[in-house]
A and B are shown apart, each in its own frame.
Chain A
Amino acid sequence: MQAIQVFAEHYNYVVTIFLMMAGLYIVIARGNMIKKLIGLSIFQTSVYLLYITPAKIIGGTAPILDPAFKVYSNPLPHVLILTAIVVGVATLALGLALVVRIKEAYGTVDEDEIFAKDGEQ
């Protein structure tokens, strides 16, 4: 009984970790570079959840001050993650530009084929 309660109280963290590991698995096990980048951004979004989840207070509202409300969620993680989202899309765009260049140079975006072509030279 207690185990179920602990699990429910930490359910958000469990899903966050699941997303994180799914992203990591894509990065490790899939050869396609675009798929790898999507895995990387899944990992990144799971980190957003990891930061935002503890900021929530049950019964609180969004941190926009108003006399009608007393309890607010913690605004600081929100600020940090806003920055992280924008930086994340910047790195994604840079990575994809690199993928386009790799495609032009090697004719493929698959890791194994690129390694094979490197071995031939």
Chain B
Amino acid sequence: MALMTLLAITTIAIVRQRNLFGVVILAGIYSFLMASVLIVLDAVDVAMTEASVGAGISTVVLLGTLHLTGGLELERPRRALLPLFSVATVAAVLVWGTLSLPPFGTADAPIHKHVAPRYLEKSVEETNVPNVVTAVLADYRGYDTLGETAVIFTAGIGVMLLLRRGRGRRKPDGAADDTGAAK
């Protein structure tokens, strides 16, 4: 519960901070806090992934982008009221929706009744892996994971193409740059 509160405080700091370098570091802190919360919630595999991917790779990628684009967010006296109002409305609706969810941590909630017990009972016998998360990820939902790797592959190709194009186009005149931006 204290961790959740810390998470919320970090988020407020992220919203208010204008220096993007600070925002990136706060985002790293946020990811590590999130990983701690996930460990408390028994999701150890997810926590490990979040700590390495969320706090590690994301921070590196963000810092690289800051290096290329520069790091200060513009101050702007802007209609903050309308976004705030719409966000508050959505929040109220969502809170109202979650109130009817089963209380935190109860063992007889509907989510624990359907597929999960079968995985917990049969996975050792069927796959010989004691870690049920791994068994489901690599075995029962193997195609899902294959699709996931396809997504990462596509994203990687996309990033490479975008950045390479940028480097090739820098030399010729502005006309070529416009077509690149349109894509």
Contact = CB atoms under 8 A, between A and B. Distances in A.
Interface class of chain A by DSSP: helix
Interface in A12-31: 12-15, 17-26, 28-31
A57 B103 CA distance: 10
A64 interface: yes
Contacts of B111: 54-55, 74, 77
Nearest to B115: A76
Contacts of A19: 7-8, 11
Contacts, number: 269
Contacts of B38: 48, 52
A120 interface: no
B181 A22 contact: no
Interface of B is mostly: helix
Interface in A86-104: 86-87, 89-94, 96-104
Contacts of B131: 63-65
Counting chain B residues whose Cβ lies within 8 A of the other chain, the interface size class is: 35 or more
Nearest to B31: A45
A93 B124 CA distance: 37
Interface residues on A, range: 35 or more
Contact of A21 (B23, B87, B99, B120): B87
Interface of B: 1, 4-5, 7-8, 11-12, 14-15, 20, 23-24, 27, 30-31, 34, 37-38, 41-46, 49-50, 53-54, 57-58, 61-62, 64-66, 68-70, 73-74, 76, 78, 80, 83-84, 86-88, 90-91, 94-95, 98-99, 101-107, 109, 111-112, 115-116, 119-120, 123-124, 130-133, 136-137, 141, 144-145, 148, 151-152, 155-156, 158-159, 162-163, 165-166, 169-170, 177-178, 180-181
